[in-house]
Amino acid sequence: MGRFLRRLVSKKKRRFVDRADGFDLDLAYITDSLIAMGFPSTRSPDRFYRNDMREVQRFLDSRHPDAYKVYNLCSERDYDHACFHNRVSVFPFDDHNPPPFHLIPLLCADVSDWLSGTSASPPFTAGPLPSSLSSPPSSSSAAPSPSSQPPPRVAAIHCKAGKGRTGLMICCYLLHSGVCPTADAALRFYGDRRTLDGNGVTLLSQRRYVGYYERFLRETAAGAAPERWLGNGGTGSVRARVVGLWVKGCPEAWLKRASPYFVIRTRDGVVWFRSAAELATPSPPADRAQSAESTAPAAPRHPTVLAWQWNAPSSNADTAADSTDDDAAAAAAGGDACLHVPRHSHLGLP
């Protein structure tokens, strides 16, 4: 039953199966040194349909003894790092979201140091960006003699499902290490090796961040200061002003009986913006969700374009974004949803 449930949850993801050793894990080798896997669960019922922590431990300890390090990308769950001999680093961000941009080069540097053997794997602590962070690992260092060469190291990266957040970070490392020359190539490479249908990183926001990291590497290699992307001291603190939100093609639920609105909150829960439609509603969102069926006016019966324009609080308005003519034309014609923000800025929104 457990094997059936795990395969059902895995859907189109590739699994590592070795019947001789009894392995059937939601896990795939992206390269010889990069592993993508689902969350190693320690509690019921999760371990019956996700990776069982005991099986992940057995796999890593038998296949890569003393030569692996685990990277947890989950903001919503963790485990005792002693399960993996304290060789664990945590780069947390929320499910179905891209990370704060500064976490990407930090993780890439950590993985690079671990795989190259220059790191003894200290616990990760977020801080200022090291001066050499944007440089890919050097391949000019002399290899040790065969007699003293340690076993090749591997990095096992996971989120909850081991697909979206994991894929975003692995694709960025493929760019960082020079395995793939472009974001599109990295996304295809990862998709082919992690899934059966090639659909690895599917969320548009996460795919965009792979492209942002390609630009970051290109610009820093050309001499641009990392602070252009990473903010004050490399901590990802970049002030920004949102000037527009376009929604093109309403979700099916909106085409029935609904009155759509937007509320944007910062990561600490502070309301950052309320759309005019929400402000005009007398009941709070929680109450509104319960009574929408009886009170909402009939929505248009066809896809439409909804647009709100607003300014952020003055404390966040150091920079501004200008929508291009192409963006405006695309919005009017209908297409992908687009949030116009200053380039090279991360809002830190959920």
What would the two tokens of residue 304 be? 């439409």
Write the pLDDT tens digit of every residue in 150-182.
789 999 999 999 999 999 999 999 999 999 999
Distances (CA, A) of 305 to 261, 280, 333: 13, 20, 8
Nearest 5 degrees, angle CA 308-CA 313-CA 315? 145
Residue 260 has pLDDT above 60, yes or no: yes
Confidence at residue 300, expressed as pLDDT on a 0 to 100 scale: 36
CB burial of 206-240 (b: ≥16 within 10 Å; e: otherwise) equals: bbebbbbbbebbebbeeeeebeebbbeebebebeb
For 113-147, what is each residue's pLDDT tens digit? Answer: 999 987 665 555 444 444 444 344 433 333 344 44
User: Which residues belong to the active site?
Assistant: 159
Tell me what pLDDT residue 273 has.
74
Chain segment 52-74, per-residue pLDDT in tens: 999 999 999 999 999 999 999 99
Is there a cis peptide before residue 45, judged by omega within 30 degrees of 0? yes
What pLDDT was estimated at residue 327? 39
Number of Cα atoms under 13 Å in the Cβ half of residue 126: 15
Residue 79: CB atoms within 10 Å: 17
Please report the pLDDT score of residue 265 as a whole number: 78
User: pLDDT digit string (tens) for 181-223?
Assistant: 999 999 999 999 999 999 999 999 999 999 999 999 999 999 8
Q: What is the Cα–Cα distance from 294 to 216, expressed in whole angstroms?
A: 49
Distance of CA 85 to the CA centre of its chain: 25
The model's confidence at residue 226, banded by pLDDT at 50, 70 and 90, is confident
With tokens 């992690």, the residue in question is 194
Q: Considering only CA atoms, which of 341, 333, 280 is closest in space to residue 310?
A: 341
Question: Could you tell me the CA-to-CA distances from 148 to 143, 144, 145, 151, 194 in Å, in that order?
Answer: 10, 6, 6, 10, 33
Q: Which amino acid is at 284?
A: P
DSSP element (H, E) containing 340:
strand 338-340
pLDDT of residue 187: 98
- Number of CB atoms found within 10 A of residue 144's CB: 10
